[in-house]
Amino acid sequence: MNNCIFCKIIQKEIPATVIYEDDDVLAFMDIGPIIKGHALVIPKKHYDPITETPDEIIAKLHITAKKIATAQMNAFGADGVNILQNNGRASGQEVEHIHVHIIPRFENDGHHWNWKPKTYENFDEMNELAGKLQEQL
Ligand code: AMP
Ligand code: ZN
């Protein structure tokens, strides 16, 4: 895909610090780490967003994410790992080539997600949304 920065990394048109590669996926260090050691895994073929990506690629991305999470724990002594995958600008996605973030976490690493749980007005409101989802599943 033209002008896709991650396709350019795959084509070796721009550099990346690669940590893992096979026929389907490439994993490399994120240049703007939320926590040092933050890595990304991408498919070698351009897909985006998750809803347009074949199931076998989704599986491969997450199997690779598991390998990287294990490596972060073993190599860095990470106490935990966040696995994230953004879809669409509304979600905060900046690079429109599907990618999974693997972020090592440490006790007292100082990072806090801006995660503020809200409440439903009542159970009916939640059940109505659940019903709409069920119809699509
Ligand atoms: P997202 O907001 O989910 O689209 O995340 C895109 C991620 O790609 C960000 O964490 C960036 O730091 C990272 N990123 C962008 N360009 C590069 C690059 N050339 N090499 C490595 N990571 C990159
Ligand atoms: Zn691409």
Q: Is 101 a catalytic residue?
A: no
| Tokens found for residue 86 | 């953004």
Give pLDDT tens digits for 16-52. 999 999 999 999 999 999 999 999 999 999 999 999 9
Distance CA 87, CA 24 (A): 20
Residue 28 pairs with which residues in a beta bridge?
A: 18, 40
Residue 81 pairs with which residues in a beta bridge?
A: 104
Tell whether ligand 1 has an atom less than 6 A from the beta carbon of residue 95: yes
Whole-structure pTM value: 0.96
Which of 38, 99, 101, 111 is catalytic? The answer is 99
Number of domains observed in the structure of the chain: 1
Contact 47, 57 (CB under 8 A): yes
The ligand whose atoms approach the alpha carbon of 30 most closely is 1
Tell whether ligand 1 has an atom less than 6 A from the beta carbon of residue 130: no
> What phi, psi does 57 have (nearest 5°)?
-75, -40
Task: Identify the domain containing residue 78 by its residue range.
Answer: 5-136
Distance CA 84, CA 102 (A): 7
Give pLDDT tens digits for 115-128. 999 999 999 999 99
Contact 39, 28 (CB under 8 A): yes
User: CATH code at 57?
Assistant: 3.30.428.10
The ligand whose atoms approach the alpha carbon of 32 most closely is 1
